[in-house]
Structure formats: C-alpha cells, structure tokens
Amino acid sequence: MRTKLFSLLAASAAVLLAGCAGPGPSSVGGTARPAAISVDPAKRSEVAMAALSLLDTPYRYGGRYPEQGFDCSGLVAYVMRSAADVRLPHNSAEIARLGRPVSSHKLNPGDLVFFNTLNRPLSHVGVYIGEDRFVNAPSSGGRVRIDSLANPYFAQRFEGARTLFAE
C-alpha cells in the first residue's frame, strides 16, 4: 500500500513540476523557426506592471488566468496578451523561440528570462522587472512572486534572456 501511495505521489509531483514547460514544441517538420515578435518598446513598463499586479496569484499547473491561477508560461502569456496585445503559446520553450536573445547585462523591464528547472532546456520563464529581479509562477503549491537572478537556485539554472520588443 505504501509503495502504491509513494508511486502515485511521485507521479503527481512530476506532472505538477512539468507545468511550465508545457507539452513541448509543436513546430511542423521540427526545424521551422517562427518569425520573431516585435512589440512596441513603449509597452515595456505596462508589461512589467501587469506582471507585478499578479503577485500572490496561486500557482496552478496549466493555469492561464488569474481566477484559476498560473503556471510560468501561462503567466507570461497572460501578461503579454493583457499588456501588449500579443498572443504567445503556453509553453516556455516555444515562447523563447519567438524572442531575440538579449545579454543579461542589457535586460530591460518586460524582457523574459529563462531557466532549466526540470533538466530540460528553457523549462521555466519569468518577466524581468529590473534590478536583477523577475516575476514568475515558480511551482506547485506556490504563488506568483518576485525572485532574484542572483538567487543561487535561479543563478545556477539561468539559460538566458529574450526580448519580444522592437529594437
């Protein structure tokens, strides 16, 4: 009985922790790169403020709206849709493919930061808000919060940043 319970709990935890990554890339043919999105830079502060307005919203695997809670990619997609009228996929790796790389030294509010939190590239995403901080929906049982890029957990798993804003 204990073995079955443990197996069930372990499987449930794995599913919940996989929420940010989503179901995986869905490009037809496997190699097509979608066109980069180009958002008006004047929307940067609106994107950062929209992310901040969702602090303390509960984490929910597959969540896309404040009323139901968010996972990381659901949070980012909701913020970009509400603040910049941009539709993004509900998958952190696919979101990364839509942006242009930006150096961590040149991050601006509204840019997106990506992490490998599931032993899978680009499995977690957050919205950069300035001063080495970002808003994210970190994990099952958690809430949308501000974290630091200097936090050892995130610093070890940082994979880069992307921007969706026009140059």
List, by residue number, the catalytic residues.
72, 124, 136
Nearest to 92 by CA among 20, 43, 2, 3: 20
Q: If you ran DSSP here, which 8-state letter would residue 120 be given?
A: S
What would the 3-class secondary structure string for 66-112 be? Answer: CCCEECHHHHHHHHHHHHHCCCCCCCHHHHHHHCEEECHHHCCCCCE
Alpha helices in the chain (DSSP H): 2-17, 44-52, 72-84, 92-98, 152-157
